[in-house]
Homo-oligomer: A and B are copies of this chain.
Amino acid sequence: MQTKSPLGNISIVLVDTKTPANIGAVARGMMNMGLSRLVLVNPPEDRDSEARKLAAGADDILGRAAVFSTLREAVADQGLVIGASRHRSRRRTNVHSPRETAEQAAPLLERNKVSLVFGNEVNGLENSDIALCHELVAIPSSEQFPSLNLSHAVMVVMYEFLAATMTGERLEARELAPVGELERFYAHLRDNLLRTGFINDRNAEDMMFSLRQVFGRARLDSREVSILQGVLSALEGRAKRD
Contact = CB atoms under 8 A, between A and B. Distances in A.
Nearest to A1: B144
Instruction: State the number of copies, please.
Output: 2
Given A95-B172, A138-B171, A155-B155, A32 B196 contact: no
B171 A97 contact: yes
A142 to B, nearest CB: 4
Contacts of A207: 227
Interface in A94-151: 94-100, 138-149, 151
A34 B142 CA distance: 5
The number of chain A residues touching the other chain, given as a range, is: 35 or more
Nearest to A31: B145
Contacts of A169: 140
Contact of A193 (B29, B171, B231): B231
A142 B158 CA distance: 12
Interface string A149-164: 1011001100100110
